[in-house]
Amino acid sequence: MDQIPSFTPSDWYWQADNGRVFSSAQGAPVPASDEAFGNWKEVGRLPTIWPRDDDGKQTDAALAEVLALYGLGMSSGASVPQSVTRAQAKIALHRTGLLDMVKTAVEADPEVQIWFDDASTWERQNPHVIDLGEQLLGGAAEIDALFIEAAKIAA
């Protein structure tokens, strides 16, 4: 008989409906394609559904409340780059499975579409980055994680 893996808060994953994944071992969001996440699932574990706030949204604050119960927190641990190239950002979105969703959202606003297509760099504090990140990713921690991953891409 197969043994059900036990819940280990310090080595666990939470996954939101939009696919974003948080690793308690890293204390930060990770790409859904993260090798450690894949290995973790291979032994029969399933991530916990990302918690929701009082408005029913899966937010960083809602997850932080759950993590705090186990003495855990959310921090990227890595320096967040203030800008990445358009190519780095789009490749990171592709690798995390978010590119098509972002493209659909961008098409709704002609000015955002121009920025998405033509800006040579994406600044972390750009209002379009912040708005799209909060709308589609859930919050600042996920945007930071995406920028950290994007900066690692040679593009």
pLDDT digits (tens, 9 = 90+) for 78-102: 678 889 999 999 999 999 889 999 9
* Domain coordinates in residue numbering, the chain: 9-69, 83-151
Instruction: Decide: helix, strand or coil at residue 51.
Output: coil
Instruction: Give the DSSP H or E segment for 123.
Output: strand 121-123
Residue-level pLDDT at 80: 80
Residue-level pLDDT at 77: 54
pLDDT tops 90 at residue 144: no
Instruction: Give the DSSP H or E segment for 17.
Output: none
Instruction: Decide: helix, strand or coil at residue 121.
Output: strand
Measuring CA to CA, how many Å separate 155 from each of 5, 84, 150? 40, 10, 9
CA-based end-to-end distance of the chain: 48
pLDDT digits (tens, 9 = 90+) for 98-124: 999 999 999 999 999 999 999 999 998
Report the alpha-carbon distance of residue 47 to residue 100 in Å, rounded: 23
Mean pLDDT of 25-37: 83
pLDDT tops 90 at residue 32: no
Residue-level pLDDT at 9: 86
pLDDT digits (tens, 9 = 90+) for 10-25: 889 999 887 888 888 8
Instruction: Give the DSSP H or E segment for 28.
Output: strand 28-30
pTM attached to this predicted model: 0.55
Report the alpha-carbon distance of residue 72 to residue 15 in Å, rounded: 17
pLDDT tops 80 at residue 155: no
Residue-level pLDDT at 129: 92
Share the mean pLDDT of the chain. Answer: 87
